[in-house]
Amino acid sequence: MALKITEFFGFAPLDSAAAPFISGLKCPFVGDKCIKPTLGACAVEPLELAEPVMCCPNRMYGENFLALKDLAEEAFGAGCTLIKPSEAQERIAGLGAALTGNEIVVFGKYWGKELPLPRPKGKGARSASTYYVDWVLARLNAAGELSEIIAVEVQTIDTTGSYRDQAETFFDGKPFTGGSTRSPEFSNAGMNWENVNKRILPQLIYKGHVLRREDLCKKGLFFVCPKQVYDRIRDRLGGHLHDYKPGQGTITFRSYELGPQGASGTHRAMTLHGQFTTTVDQVALAFTSPMNLPDADVYAAAINKALAI
């Protein structure tokens, strides 16, 4: 278990272009405060993968929210325009440019208004945070009426252990060489892949069921994540899911990856890696009845081996 920071406040560690973002503790991808200011890591490289893994959700909004723009065109067709809720209100009131029917209103953080939703019913409603999604993209027709919506969840991956030692040396403007003798550039931290099983998939199943009850959510739930999380999800679900077109009651998994490090002062390019769509029911069944199980009696074999029987 070991990893190293490959993007520090948006750039390669010690790249001078990161200096104003480091001093202001700002994120270069959303133009706001860094949400992990004591670490500053946008992407890390696990020793066993030897490729960058996006570990901060805001990194997924690189290239001026490319992932949301891609999704809008995927769901609503080419030529759509993303606008803030405040701009939509002005246009509906006749105070701005006329609506064309290609406007997509973005509800979410950094776009002016997050969408308030009522709490779920029942005794456990107070703690039911899984009711919410990160983004709702709402299409308006030329009359300003709501015609269709999609919901978007964005997840990266958490880490285990700590790489704070690296961050501290980068804040001091020095290279990190304090790791193990085998890998001095790496801290003793790792990726929390088990979160795919414990948190990500259960939340997606729940939210998928909520959204299938929305008449205007005609293409279901979209889940945007790094390539490595996408690969883990496909492995966990067993690779036997039927493919569907986006529709009510579907979940579309959509992943991005980072390209190689470019010249100093540049960000790594973020490109689409893969996509597949299946139903909420297919995901729930595969999650609770996995097909990729180990051989029978593996525990007994391991005990016998440990005892040399």
| Model pLDDT for residues 103-130, shown as the tens digit of each residue | 999 999 999 888 877 666 665 555 555 5
Q: Is the torsion defined by CA of 121, 123, 126, 129 positive or negative?
A: negative
pLDDT reported for residue 116: 73
Q: How many residues are there in the chain?
A: 309
Report DSSP letters for 152-211, one per residue: EEE----EEE--HHHHHHHHTT-----S-SS-TT-BSEEE-TTHIIIIIHHHHHHHHHHH
| Model pLDDT for residues 57-98, shown as the tens digit of each residue | 999 999 999 999 999 999 999 999 999 999 999 999 998 899
- CA distances to 140, 199, 262 from 27, in Å: 31, 26, 19
